[in-house]
Amino acid sequence: MGSRSFGIVAGLLLVLLTMAGAVYAYDLATEPRIPHGTKVAGVPVGGLTKDEARERLRGPLSGWVARPLQIRLGRREFSVRASRLAAQVDVDATLERALTPAQRGSILERTLRRLRGDTRRANLAPSTTYSPQAVRALARRLARRITRAPRDARVRVVDGRLRRVPARHGLAVRHATLSRRVESTLGSLDPRVAVPLRRSRPHVTGPELIRRYPNYIVVDRDGFTLRLYRRLRLAESYPIAVGQQGLETPAGLYDVQNKQINPTWTVPNSDWAGALAGRSIPPGPDNPLKARWLGFDGSAGIHGTEDIGSLGTAASHGCIRMAVPGVVDLYRHVDVGTPVYIS
């Protein structure tokens, strides 16, 4: 290599070394600045040094831990302030995250970014510390408020009418998952936390209840009405007579135990029966049990009567009287085992 070529190469090396030194010196002398466009909890900090950003965030972040977390369960919502979880903002950690993009890469890459004014579109949540024990305690408190056992579908009688109580799923809070979600929310801009649930099915659902009760009889003694429900819907209402004072028709839940067409009357051994006590009266004019019999409580039952004028009154010796057409109609719909609820 000639002296001239050597001189050129040496000159170029000198220039490069000088430039490298200048870049290195610039990198050392220039305090890192947060990329333009960066925000922390909506507060612009782009272009600022760490100390400048800390001063700007001092006021806005002072109330950050007082913000309420919105714990949501469907339409229900529970508010819990982050401060109750011993939450605190770590400003230095937050600013380190904001500065990280400006400090990445080689000296040359950092210098070029600074010279052209690095821009970054980011809205950072403040770095937050908290008490894991307090978060777990919150999950347990919410579980106590939310957890419920499954409820089977069932029926009940209100004011002489059959009502359905719908089934309901059981709910259980997944504690560990909820704790993780709360912890994640403490370090995010979105204050909403969805409660993770585990659902349990009831044993008896609405359709199963209908299959269980294809027919259901409700006797409203005060209203002198017998109601027949088919598939838990009111199908027919019949006027009736019930037991007189001292011989009241027994209240409670029973079921049809036996059925007879043109029944024989086995007279109870009761004082009111007089000379007929213990006798069996075959079908005919002397037998007050007309057309049909549906026994539900030993000697008590539902039967037809010719004494239409007694319907709507307390006139029987404990049985339920119906008009003959009504009891015939009821009889053909009702099987042995059908529930009979007397209110």
In contact, 175 and 197? CB cutoff 8 Å: no
**Which sequence spans correspond to the domains of the chain?**
31-147+174-196, 213-342
pLDDT of residue 117: 47
Which candidate in 36, 203, 303, 317 is catalytic?
A: 303
Q: Is the pLDDT of residue 251 over 60?
A: yes
Distance (Å, rounded) from C-alpha 71 to C-alpha 192? 6
Cα distances from 7 to residues 15, 16, 20, 21, in angstroms, run 12, 14, 20, 21
- Bridge partners for 78 per DSSP: 71
Q: Is the pLDDT of residue 28 over 50?
A: no
Q: Is the pLDDT of residue 276 over 80?
A: no
Per-residue model confidence as pLDDT tens digits over 58-75: 888 888 888 899 999 888
Assign domain 213-342 to a CATH class: mainly beta
Q: Is the model more confident about 1 or about 156?
A: 156
Q: Is the pLDDT of residue 26 over 70?
A: no
**Average pLDDT of the segment spanning 263-289:** 79
Per-residue model confidence as pLDDT tens digits over 306-317: 999 999 999 998
Q: Is the pLDDT of residue 100 over 90?
A: no
What band does 101 get if pLDDT is binned at 50, 70 and 90?
Answer: low
Q: Is the pLDDT of residue 20 over 50?
A: no
Q: Which amino acid is present at 160?
A: G
Q: What is the DSSP string of 50-107?
A: HHHHHHHHTTGGGGGGGSEEEEEETTEEEEEEGGGGT-EE-HHHHHHHHHGGGG-S-H
**Average pLDDT of the segment spanning 225-254:** 95
Report long-range pairs for 13-21 (Cβ below 8 Å, ≥24 apart): none
Q: Among this protein's residues, is 303 annotated catalytic? A: yes
- C-beta neighbour count of 115 within 10 angstroms: 10
pLDDT of residue 11: 52
